[in-house]
Amino acid sequence: MKIRDLRVGMRKVNITATVESISEPKEVQSRFTGKFHKVATAVISDESGKINLVLWNEQIGMVSPGDKIKIENGYVSAFRGRKQLNIGRFGKISKI
């Protein structure tokens, strides 16, 4: 699957891309548990386009700009009107 083919609401997304950049992690509080978590946004790309990838906690340290990565079982959502790819609880991220 290519980035240009991703649509909001898609599930079970498997994609290979290159990490362009990663934002500084921010600390956010969960609405459900009250616990604090770190979140960062990575911009990933392939030959068809770019999309934001949401990284949580230990996922942030798993990748660096320039890395080629594989996302398995991700899903696509929208945040503040922009499409983004999420790994979620059941997805997996790995370096190639």
Q: What is the pLDDT of residues 1-51, one digit of tens each?
A: 999 999 999 999 999 999 999 999 999 998 999 999 999 999 999 999 999
Mean pLDDT over 46-73 rounds to 96
Average pLDDT on 49-73 reads 96
Tokens, residue 83 = 């499409």
Percentage helix, strand, coil, to 5, in the chain?
Answer: 10, 55, 35
Note the pLDDT of residue 88: 86
Q: What is the pLDDT of residue 89?
A: 86
Among candidate residues 92, 68, 95, the one with its CA nearest the CA of residue 13: 92
